[in-house]
């Protein structure tokens, strides 16, 4: 027999799980979708800034220790940013035990190119200035007397070339590198002096 009155819902037996529907608010879902789309739209090739700084070991004739810091800007770049004309400058110092201590400013211009995998090569031309100071007292004879001489060294014009290799890690924007070359010091006792140089360091893109 059909009745038109309200029906009474039966209570669930004890121990029976009641299923409920959980609705995720629409704004949360929409926000998640927007953030996901924005993240996927970000470039995935890492930090490829035009400006960079570097810190490196500076070895005069490879083994006379020193340090240098540098700044570079990629003045011109290829469309894929794999090749660049780089302009920069380095400031540093070295110590030659019992001989001299040198402080230098070394501007440079060069080319840098890298493979998509990360391998990077470079070639640079340098033109700068070096001021050296004697590392220990020096003496000279004046009017038959031995006197202490000035410890001021010689100001040199630096002219040279270097070549290097490194590996670029794009996500961190970091390139460990090694660079070697030759610098001509002039004038030194009215002649040109040739010194080898070695740099081992790291470049960081800004």
Q: What domains can you pick out in the chain, each with its CATH number?
A: 51-205 (2.40.160.20)
Report the run of H or E that residue 60 belongs to, with start and end: strand 51-60
The rounded percent of the chain whose pLDDT value lies above 90 is 50
Task: Return the residue matching tokens 């121990």.
Answer: 15
Q: Which two tokens stand for residue 87?
A: 């302009």
Give the Cβ contact number of residue 100 at 10 Å: 18
| DSSP symbol at 80 | T
End-to-end Cα, the chain, rounded Å: 84
Give the Cβ contact number of residue 186 at 10 Å: 13
Contact between 144 and 182 under an 8 Å Cβ cutoff? The reply is no
pLDDT in tens, 8-21: 554 545 555 545 45
pTM for this predicted structure: 0.69
Task: Return the residue matching tokens 């469309």.
Answer: 79
Q: Which residues pair with 9 in a beta bridge?
A: none
pLDDT in tens, 51-92: 999 999 999 999 899 999 999 999 999 988 899 999 999 999
- Is the backbone peptide bond immediately before 80 cis, with ω within 30 degrees of 0? no
């Amino acid at each position: 027999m059909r009745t038109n009155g309200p029906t009474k819902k039966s209570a669930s037996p004890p121990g029976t799980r009641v299923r409920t529907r959980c609705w995720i608010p629409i704004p949360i879902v929409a926000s998640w979708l927007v953030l996901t789309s924005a993240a996927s739209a970000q470039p995935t090739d890492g930090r490829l800034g035009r400006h960079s700084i570097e810190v490196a070991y500076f070895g005069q004739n490879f083994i006379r220790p020193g340090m240098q810091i540098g700044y570079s800007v990629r003045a011109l770049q290829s469309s894929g940013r794999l090749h660049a004309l780089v302009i920069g400058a380095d400031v540093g110092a070295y110590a030659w035990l019992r001989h001299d201590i040198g402080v230098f400013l070394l501007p440079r211009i060069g080319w840098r190119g890298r493979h998509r995998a990360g391998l990077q090569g470079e070639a640079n031309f340098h033109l700068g200035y070096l001021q050296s100071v004697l590392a220990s007292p020096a003496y000279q004879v004046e009017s038959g007397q031995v006197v202490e001489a000035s410890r001021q060294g010689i100001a040199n014009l630096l002219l040279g070339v270097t070549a290097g290799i490194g590996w670029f890690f794009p996500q961190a924007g970091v390139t460990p590198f090694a660079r070697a070359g030759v610098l001509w010091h002039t004038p030194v006792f009215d002649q040109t002096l040739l010194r080898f140089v070695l740099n081992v360091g790291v470049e960081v893109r800004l």
